[in-house]
């Protein structure tokens, strides 16, 4: 009875919201002038893009929405609008405002549907790789330590650091998770978070865990923020925030305290270690040159569940990071990962995933206010998609987490607009599909129904969007391999292997093909033929 009453109340509230939204938009949208005027304004804006921004990029920012496929982008757009009292569909995400959009092919060298490690190696290191590996080429085999040496590949973060830029990593996952680790580590197994997770033979063969590589491979990364505290401390060391929770204790078998080692190394270099929001926001960025922020033992909490008093948001972390990094007159490179979009989808919790995406978009907006398109290239993309979608002929303004307007013509039961192709949301009650009207399908952790039962929902294999703005952003067009992304960023900033074309006097980049590029192309052609 309670569920039935709740369902009725929920439907009533949804209908009320829908009516308000429709009344707000219906009248003006009936007039062709509304649509014509909007299209003409868009046309005028597009015409201004005929003058290409060929400046040299002083700063580079890559926003990576882990698992943020195109259906997630669209659903997040609607949610953002609905959170602001609109019907949602007409809303603009910050990334929607970027002038150039392309598609990236996400497959790994050994996988049609990729994972986050192989894809990270592509969009950070510029080469495609096998699933489960970070910072190594496709010649390396997952979990086989002896295939590491000689197959290491460096990332654009390293290229930027070598060019004298400040560099930073900000993530909502562990700082040694797949996405951030590809920017500094060379590991044949993404799960080697600390030496505790590594097989004895790999340790004996000389392979290093990813947490250790964070501090040793590129020892002066200027800003590091995210989770993963427990991987930095000796085994069984109580966590500073959860001292009585055993699962949050340190994991390291080598008894090293990587955080203390960092603090000792940075004590005379304006280095600061923080583990909560108060400490972070009390810093004066002008007095900070190096920052290590580890805010959870593992991943950061979902934004919907975040303690706003003790845990910083992604937007807050990004703001502090830019304030520190931009002090460098040579510019900076910043990797920002909205990493828990992916986790929400894996758990079938679309509401968690979409709120994570909206928060990342908020961070994109904050970065926009703190930088200029004249000297900062900003790219927003995803590593892969998910088996997530929404449909069912829902009406304009329908809550994104709501029901489709009809019953199934097969089992005569209602269904939510959001569904998964596979995952933990598959559920039978008395041998038939669960009636979602009897449960709270708008609850934060509701697991949307799935077609195929799996304990964890899987990635999707379709192309992902790449949004770009700033110097030379127009080079991201059409459909490209995912590993093309860091090559464009490096070219725009005149770093890495892309420097010969630069004209430093004028501050612009020469768009003419360079001889070395032609030679490289001919070499590849001969290899392929």
As annotated, the binding site includes: 66, 177, 179, 337, 342, 346, 383-384, 459
- Known binding-site residue numbers for Zn(2+): 66, 342, 346, 383-384, 459
Distances (CA, A) of 3 to 8, 141, 375, 438: 9, 51, 55, 5
Extract the tokens encoding 222: 């200027």
Q: Which of 25, 88, 53 is nearest to 372 (CA)?
A: 53
Helix axes 32-48, 2-30, angle to 10 degrees: 80
How far is residue 213's CA from residue 141's CA, in Å, rounded to a whole number? 19
- Known binding-site residue numbers for Mg(2+): 66, 177, 179, 337
For 46, residues 6+ apart whose C-beta sits below 8 A from its C-beta are none
Q: Which of 386, 485, 360 is nearest to 105 (CA)?
A: 485
User: What number of other Cβ atoms are within 10 A of residue 465's Cβ?
Assistant: 19
How far is residue 469's CA from residue 68's CA, in Å, rounded to a whole number? 19
Phi and psi, residue 377, nearest 5°: -90, 125
Distances (CA, A) of 64 to 404, 485, 504: 31, 12, 30
Extract the tokens encoding 340: 């828990």
Largest CA distance in the chain: 75
Asked if residues 223 and 321 have their Cβ atoms less than 8 Å apart, the reply is yes
Q: Which of 241, 188, 233, 236 is nearest to 211 (CA)?
A: 233
Has 181 been annotated as catalytic? no
Catalytic residue (choose from 116, 166, 183, 385):
116
The residues carrying an active-site annotation are 116
């Amino acid at each position: 009875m309670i569920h039935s009453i709740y369902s009725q109340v929920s439907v009533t509230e949804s209908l009320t919201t829908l009516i308000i939204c429709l009344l707000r938009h219906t009248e003006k949208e009936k007039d062709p002038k509304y649509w014509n005027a909007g299209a003409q304004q868009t046309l005028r804006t597009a015409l201004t893009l005929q003058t290409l921004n060929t400046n040299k990029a002083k700063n580079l920012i890559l926003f990576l929405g882990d698992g943020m496929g195109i259906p997630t982008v669209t659903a997040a757009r609607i949610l953002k609008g609905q959170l602001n009292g609109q019907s949602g569909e007409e809303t603009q995400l910050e990334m929607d405002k970027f002038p150039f959009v392309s598609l990236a092919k996400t497959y790994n060298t050994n996988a049609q549907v990729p994972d986050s490690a192989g894809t990270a190696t592509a969009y950070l290191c510029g080469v495609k790789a096998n699933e489960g590996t970070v910072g190594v080429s496709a010649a390396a085999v997952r979990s086989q330590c002896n295939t590491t040496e000689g197959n290491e590949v460096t990332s654009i973060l390293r290229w930027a650091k070598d060019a004298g830029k400040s560099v930073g990593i900000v993530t909502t996952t562990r700082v040694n998770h797949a996405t951030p680790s590809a920017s500094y580590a060379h590991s044949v197994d993404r799960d080697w978070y600390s030496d505790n997770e590594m097989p004895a033979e790999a340790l004996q063969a000389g392979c290093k865990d990813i947490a250790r590589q964070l501090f040793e491979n590129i020892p002066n990364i200027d800003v590091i923020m995210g989770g993963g505290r427990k991987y930095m401390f000796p085994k069984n060391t109580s966590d500073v925030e959860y001292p009585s929770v055993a699962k949050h204790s340190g994991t390291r078998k080598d008894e090293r305290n990587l955080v203390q080692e960092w603090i000792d190394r940075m004590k005379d270099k304006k280095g600061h270690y923080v583990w909560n929001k108060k400490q972070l926001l009390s810093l004066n960025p002008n007095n900070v040159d190096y920052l290590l922020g580890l805010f959870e033992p593992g991943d950061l909490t979902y934004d919907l569940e975040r303690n706003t008093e003790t845990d910083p948001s992604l937007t807050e972390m990004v703001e502090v990071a830019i304030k520190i990094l931009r002090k460098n007159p040579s510019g900076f490179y910043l990797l920002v990962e909205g990493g828990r979009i992916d986790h929400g989808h894996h758990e079938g919790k679309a509401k968690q995933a979409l709120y994570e995406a909206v928060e990342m978009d908020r961070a994109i907006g904050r970065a926009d206010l703190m930088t200029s398109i004249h000297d900062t290239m900003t790219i927003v993309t995803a590593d892969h998609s998910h088996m997530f979608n929404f449909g069912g002929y829902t009406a304009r303004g329908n809550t994104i987490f709501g029901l489709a307007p009809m019953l199934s013509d097969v089992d005569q039961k209602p269904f939510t607009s959001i569904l998964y192709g596979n995952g933990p949301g598959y559920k039978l009650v008395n041998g038939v599909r669960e009636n979602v009207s009897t449960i709270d399908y708008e609850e934060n952790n509701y697991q949307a129904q799935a077609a195929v039962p799996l304990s964890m929902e899987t990635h999707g294999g379709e192309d992902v969007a790449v949004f770009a703005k700033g110097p030379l952003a127009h080079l991201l067009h059409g459909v490209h391999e995912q590993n093309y992304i860091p090559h464009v960023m490096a070219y725009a900033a005149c770093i890495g292997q892309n420097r010969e074309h630069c004209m430093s006097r004028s501050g612009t980049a020469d768009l003419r093909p360079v001889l070395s590029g032609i030679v490289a192309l001919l070499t590849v052609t001969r290899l392929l033929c």
